[in-house]
Structure 1
């Protein structure tokens, strides 16, 4: 099969328009089932639908894993020349389209590859967690997220969602002897740490609640911290720091995802680098400030990396857009990388 550029770009346009036409925020991924069945039929790939509404196309021991869910806020798809806009165009239906096309090409060539459109990545990664707990193993995994088309992500920070509940004594505000708000606002300021440099954790308060009466001091005080921390930082140290500031309060962890880091000699990383170099594109290895399904999927295989088309600065914005050229470059990168990984498998 020749990788005829215009043919692939037209297929990419059609596939992406289909996927963007269905609004699939986290929890509503099942709405895309009909689209995936149509894609599976057209590309001669088996379709598997899981209990979390993740969609798997094809069979194989190499996995291309992106996600089908998006953040809330529908943006209708539109096409202007070779640029496509719409909710999920960048994160991550554009990368998913490149992966579907690469899988189709490689399966036709005899290299068995599976594509996973995982669910709930923008929420609590139910699809990735389901895959990990299934016991399924892969020799290599490439995670499809926007990495500016020329970058390969080898590190993601970990995630902690910390809930702090404090309790005080309600009194009439005109004669109060204590105030739980005044007591714990300094603790928020002393615990917090805005994103400044990659090597330091960010500890950001995102929700603060207290009180329900205009003339009674509150009996409860709640704050939620969204924490992102790099490889090499201890989760326990972060929890101890916050607990020390909120002495007497109850701390619970709502979600915990460890950081992930792989080296440049990892087979998946090396294959992607060469996949770009074969096109005359110089690759760059990058670290990402957030988290992704890669943080969880590394437990399945150590040969893992993240790569995909699209400008990562447009993720979760009202201006999601991607070009067919970006999708084409990414498709060829996946194909080149898969050819190398299949030979080693």
Structure 2
């Protein structure tokens, strides 16, 4: 099967439009079952739906894994010339579209590839966690996230959700002798670190609750921190900092995902780089400030990297859009990389 550009762009438009026309915020991925049944028939790929409402197309120990869910906030789909607009166009139904096309091409060529549209990536990554616990084995994994079409991500920061609960003494505000909010403002300011250098953890307060009466000092204070930290920093270091600054408060850790980092010499990284070079495109290796399913799927194989079409600056915005050229370039990049894998597999 030749990679005829206009044909692939047309098929990419059909697949992506069908995906973004179904609004699938985290928890509502099951609504896409009819779309995946159509895609399965279009491309002759066996379809399986898991209990987490993840969808799998095809079989094999080479995995192309993107995610189906989006953040909340519906954006009507629209096609303007070569651009497609809509919620998820960039994050991550655009990358998923390129993966479906590449998987179809490689399966038609006799190279067994599985495509995963995982659920809940924008929330607790239940789709990726389910896959890890399933016992499935993979030799190579490419994670489909927007990396500006020419970048390959080899590192993501980890995440900690930290809750601080402190007790106070309720008193009439006009004669109060202490205030649990004021008592802990210095600690909140000292522990907080806005995103700056990649190598420095970001520790950002995102929720503060305290008090329920306009003239009584609070009997408790709750602060939630969103923490992102790089490879080389441990969560124990971060938690010990909270323990030092909030010695009389209860500290709880909710979601915890370790950072991930793979070597630039990892085979799948090299294959993706050559997949771009073959098109006359200079690739770049990047580190991502956020967290993705790659952090979880790395437990299945260290032969993993993230790559996909789309401008990552448009993620989670009301201006999500992607071009058919980006979809095409990513599809060819995946195919070029998969060809190398299959030759050596």
Range into which the TM-score falls when normalised by the shorter chain: over 0.9
Helix, strand or coil for the counterpart of 1:299? coil
CA distance in 2, matches of 1:17, 1:218: 51
Tell me by how many angstroms 1:299 deviates. 0.2
CA distance in 2, matches of 1:266, 1:97: 25
Tell me by how many angstroms 1:107 deviates. 0.1
Gaps of 5+ in 1: none
Residue 334 of structure 1 aligns with which residue? 334
Residue 21 of structure 1 aligns with which residue? 21
Alignment of 1:118 with 2:134, yes or no, is: no
Tell me by how many angstroms 1:257 deviates. 0.3
Tell me by how many angstroms 1:196 deviates. 0.8
Tell me by how many angstroms 1:135 deviates. 1.1
Residue 295 of structure 2 aligns with which residue? 295
Tell me by how many angstroms 1:176 deviates. 1.4
Residue 225 of structure 1 aligns with which residue? 225
RMSD: 0.6
Tell me by how many angstroms 1:89 deviates. 0.2
Helix, strand or coil for the counterpart of 2:90? helix
CA distance in 2, matches of 1:309, 1:175: 60
Q: How does 1:314-325 map to 2 (within 5 A)?
A: 314-325=314-325
Gaps of 5+ in 2: none
Residue 65 of structure 1 aligns with which residue? 65
Deviations 1:266-298 (A, max 9, x none): 011011001001111110000000000000000
Tell me by how many angstroms 1:338 deviates. 0.3
CA distance in 1, matches of 2:268, 2:51: 29
Tell me by how many angstroms 1:242 deviates. 1.2
Tell me by how many angstroms 1:344 deviates. 1.9
Q: How does 1:171-320 map to 2 (within 5 A)?
A: 171-320=171-320
Deviations 1:86-109 (A, max 9, x none): 000000000000000000000000
Tell me by how many angstroms 1:235 deviates. 0.6
Q: How does 1:121-160 map to 2 (within 5 A)?
A: 121-160=121-160
CA distance in 2, matches of 1:190, 1:22: 44
CA distance in 1, matches of 2:256, 2:152: 24
Deviations 1:191-242 (A, max 9, x none): 1001110010000000000000111111110000000000000110100111
CA distance in 1, matches of 2:50, 2:248: 43
Helix, strand or coil for the counterpart of 2:194? coil
Tell me by how many angstroms 1:142 deviates. 0.0
Helix, strand or coil for the counterpart of 2:104? helix
Number of equivalent positions: 345
Residue 30 of structure 1 aligns with which residue? 30
Residue 343 of structure 1 aligns with which residue? 343
Deviations 1:235-271 (A, max 9, x none): 1010011111111100111100000000111011011
Helix, strand or coil for the counterpart of 1:116? strand
CA distance in 1, matches of 2:82, 2:240: 51
Which deviates further from its counterpart, 170-179 or 228-237? 170-179
Q: TM-score, normalised by structure 2?
A: 0.99
Q: TM-score, normalised by structure 1?
A: 0.99
Helix, strand or coil for the counterpart of 1:94? helix
CA distance in 1, matches of 2:7, 2:185: 59
Deviations 1:109-164 (A, max 9, x none): 00000000000000010000000111111000000000000000000000000011
CA distance in 2, matches of 1:305, 1:160: 22
